[in-house]
Amino acid sequence: MKPVVVIPVYNHEHAIGAVVDQVRAQQLPVVLVDDGCKPSCVAVLQELGKREQVTLVTREKNGGKGAAVMSGLEAANKLGFTHAVQIDADGQHALSDLPKFLDAAEKNPDAFINGWPQYDSTVPKSRLYARYLTHIWIWINTLSFAIRDSMCGFRVYPLNRALAAIVPGIGKRMDFDPEIAVRMVWKGIKVINIPTAVTYPTDGVSHFDALWDNVRISGMHTRLFFGMLIRLPMLLWRKISGA
C-alpha cells in the first residue's frame, strides 16, 4: 500500500498550512489541488508546494470540490500511489485519526474507508439536519445502510476502484462526495465507516452554497434513484444472497 493525502483547496490560505503540517508530521505525502484560488492563496500553495513530498496541482479555473478531488486522484494515480486519503483544507477533520483510517485501508485494501462524522457544537444546525435527508436518499439509492454518512470529506479511496467509479456527468461540486460513494457501493465495493470528530471550520470559510449546492444534490439524488432502479435486480440479489 502506497498512500497519499489529497487536499482540494479553494481560498483556505489561513488554514491550509497547518493542515499540511499535521499531515507531513505523520510522514505522509501530500497532493494539493489549487482549484482556481485567488492570488493570496496561490502564493501560500506555491510555497507549500516547494516542500518535500508535497505536490501542487493547479487548475486554472474553479471547478468545484468534486472537480478538484478528481484532479487530485488522477495526479495521485500518475505518481504511482495506490490509495488516496481525501481531507478538507479548512482544518475541520481530526487528522490524529489518519493512522486509524490507514490501518483500516491496509487491512482491507479494496475497501472504501468512509469517515462517519461525530460533530461538536460548532456544526451549523441547518447543515446537520439537511444531512439526514441526504442520508435517507443514499440508503434508498443503495438499498443498504452501508454508508453511514456520504458527505464527509475524510475518506480513503483505493485509487483504481475510485477512478473506475468516476463516470461522465458525475457531480463536480459538493455533490461529488455522496455520488461517488453510491457508485462505489453499486460496484460491490466494501464500505468501512470510521467514526471521527469534525469541527467547523478553523478559518471561518465555507464554500457550501445553501441554494445551488442543495439544488445540485437534489438533482444528483434524482439521477441516482433512476440508476438504482436500473440496478434493482442486482442490488436485491446482493441483499438476498449476502454478497
**pLDDT for res 242:** 73
C-beta neighbour count of 221 within 10 angstroms: 20
For 81, half-sphere exposure in the C-beta direction (CA atoms, 13 angstrom radius) is 26
**pLDDT for res 239:** 84
The answer, yes or no, to whether residue 106 has pLDDT greater than 60, is yes
Higher-confidence position of 175 and 132: 175
- Among 1-5, 105-109, 123-127, 151-155, the least confident range: 123-127
Partners of residue 51 on adjacent β-strands: none
Across 194-203, average pLDDT: 81
Across 96-112, average pLDDT: 98
**pLDDT for res 199:** 85
- 134's CB contacts (< 8 A; 6+ apart) are 150, 151, 178, 217, 221
The answer, yes or no, to whether residue 74 has pLDDT greater than 70, is yes
**pLDDT for res 126:** 65
The answer, yes or no, to whether residue 120 has pLDDT greater than 90, is no
Give the domain ranges of the chain: 3-241
**pLDDT for res 119:** 81
Query: Please, is 134 exposed, middle or buried when counting C-beta atoms within 10 Å of its C-beta (0-12, 13-18, 19+)?
Result: buried
Spatial separation of the C-alpha atoms in residues 14 and 40, rounded to whole Å: 10
Across 210-237, average pLDDT: 87
Query: Please, is 240 exposed, middle or buried when counting C-beta atoms within 10 Å of its C-beta (0-12, 13-18, 19+)?
Result: exposed
The answer, yes or no, to whether residue 202 has pLDDT greater than 60, is no
Higher-confidence position of 211 and 18: 18
**E strand or H helix at 77:** helix 65-78
Across 209-224, average pLDDT: 80
Spatial separation of the C-alpha atoms in residues 64 and 36, rounded to whole Å: 9
> Identity (one letter) of the amino acid at 238?
R
Higher-confidence position of 85 and 132: 85
Across 18-31, average pLDDT: 98
Average pLDDT, the chain: 92
Query: Please, is 212 exposed, middle or buried when counting C-beta atoms within 10 Å of its C-beta (0-12, 13-18, 19+)?
Result: exposed
The answer, yes or no, to whether residue 201 has pLDDT greater than 90, is no
CATH level 2 (architecture), domain 3-241: Alpha-Beta Complex (3.90)
pLDDT tens for residues 28-58? 999 999 999 999 999 999 999 999 999 999 9
Task: Return the C-alpha torsion angle 214, 219, 223, 225, nearest 10.
Answer: 60
What is this structure's pTM?
0.90
Across 6-24, average pLDDT: 97
**pLDDT for res 80:** 98
**pLDDT for res 127:** 66
